[in-house]
Chain A
Amino acid sequence: AQSVTQLGSHVSVSEGALVLLRCNYSSSVPPYLFWYVQYPNQGLQLLLKYTSAATLVKGINGFEAEFKKSETSFHLTKPSAHMSDAAEYFCAVSPEGGGSNYKLTFGKGTLLTVNP
């Protein structure tokens, strides 16, 4: 089954510092990959998604992610953290095809803390 692994359940950065949140997927066939963000007491919303059109994907709020097939990774970055970026971030995967391609599976999440 397709899955994603998020390295680091908690990442803490200073305001203005680089944000790097890691996600690796397990599949021999590149799947569709997503990053979602969850602010406290809210549902999830999409940050960005990879759909094979380009390996570098830009999302909302200055975030971007790079798909690297050789490393089976889809890490999320932002050059300069802002206090409002404090939230939990989830990597998610949908299989490329087959009968289960409607599934959407999430990683365990990474809580981002931004220090002033």
Chain B
Amino acid sequence: NAGVTQTPKFQVLKTGQSMTLQCAQDMNHNSMYWYRQDPGMGLRLIYYSASEGTTDKGEVPNGYNVSRLNKREFSLRLESAAPSQTSVYFCASRVRGPNTEAFFGQGTRLTVV
């Protein structure tokens, strides 16, 4: 049972480059999330998808786009990477509903130079 799988695990980008972070879950969850984690800032919500076909902005959406490709996959795209986007990115998923447990991937450590 893979759970939530993120690729890649590590990435170094140059300023201005673009890339897509991939996330897939095999638990038949409806809702999926992208967070970034920075020291002293906790996890901040970038975008979320309550269900297939819908996406909504979180706290820090600027500089990012997302695609809910299907029920399993939720990708995060950086169109023009900036050093301020250096962070650890986590994808999570959960069954639909506010009282359900979220399951997290292992994270993608992104460095923008």
Task: Report which A residues bind B (CB closer than 8 A).
Answer: 6, 9, 31-32, 34, 36, 41-46, 49, 51, 90, 92, 94-97, 100-109
User: Chain B: interface residue count, which band?
Assistant: 20 to 34
B42 touches which of A43, A102, A106 (Cβ 8 Å): A106
* Dominant SS among interface residues on chain A: loop
Task: Report which B residues bind A (CB closer than 8 A).
Answer: 4, 31, 33, 35, 40-45, 48, 50, 56, 58-59, 90, 92, 94, 96-99, 101-102, 104-107
Which of A94, A96, A102, A107: most chain B CB closer than 10 A? A102
The minimal Cβ–Cβ distance linking A57 to chain B, given in whole angstroms, is: 12
A94 near B58 (CB under 8 angstroms)? Answer: no
Known: A43-B90, A90-B43, A94-B99. A103 touches B58 (CB 8 A): yes
B101 CB contacts on chain A under 8 angstroms: 34, 46, 49
A3 to chain B: closest residue by CB:
B59
